[in-house]
Structure 1
Amino acid sequence: MEKTGRSVDEFVAQVSPAKRRRDAETLITMMREVSGREPALWSGSIIGFGACHYAYPTGTEGDMPILAFAPRKASTTVYLDSADAHADALAALGPHTTGASCLYMKDLESVDLGVLRRVLEETQRRTAGDELPGATITVLD
């Protein structure tokens, strides 16, 4: 994954529907506070904070944001270190679905933002602290 150099503000201004744009603005504020970093646009539609390099013993490696989300038409996708690692917290979040390392929410106004913040804090701690199972992580910025 690579940073695109495109403007995050210009990208968010074009996000639709309006609810997804509102949620993107809320997540930018929250992730900026949690990470202490400014947002950057990655791979065209992922808004990320910070950067790290990951490497697996299999030889798979690359760069990725430490915290990230993507405002999609159907829902907002928040990228986690592992959805299973946050199962207890996510049980108290409110309406959502998950994938292996993805959290999908249709409306941030219907979830507990305090729970979401704690999940993001823990994801950042685990990712930046090189605690991803099977991977070696090097923080780049």
Structure 2
Amino acid sequence: MAGELLPYAVLVGLLLLGTYLYFIASRNREAELRQALRKHEIELQDAQQLLKYAARRHMGEVGRLENARRGMCSPPSSQSNGTMFREAKSSFARLFHPDWAEGDIREREIRAEMFKQFWAELERIERRA
């Protein structure tokens, strides 16, 4: 009688083992999915922070440009031409000085040479005025 039940016992054991393995695999899959979901949530939060930063930066630029436009539309101030020229020269130096150049060595050399030529012209105009 025990010999007749042995194949059924083995079958039941295999079914239980298969069910257990399926259960473990599904738990592992759920854990992987939870981990992936958390990773994507973090990436989404990072993207939202970057979006907020970009929006603030954009609004700052819009404000700066509006101020500049209002300044262009306003009547000339009482500043002398010499003062305005010195401010323009100073702005040019801040924006285009070769020390602030980016890029490879060839681009820097070209930028430095252009700056020298233009700077010499600015100094010539300043001496003449």
Give the TM-score normalised by the residue count of structure 1: 0.21
Structure number with the higher strand fraction is: 1
Structure number with the higher helix fraction is: 2
Give the TM-score normalised by the residue count of structure 2: 0.22
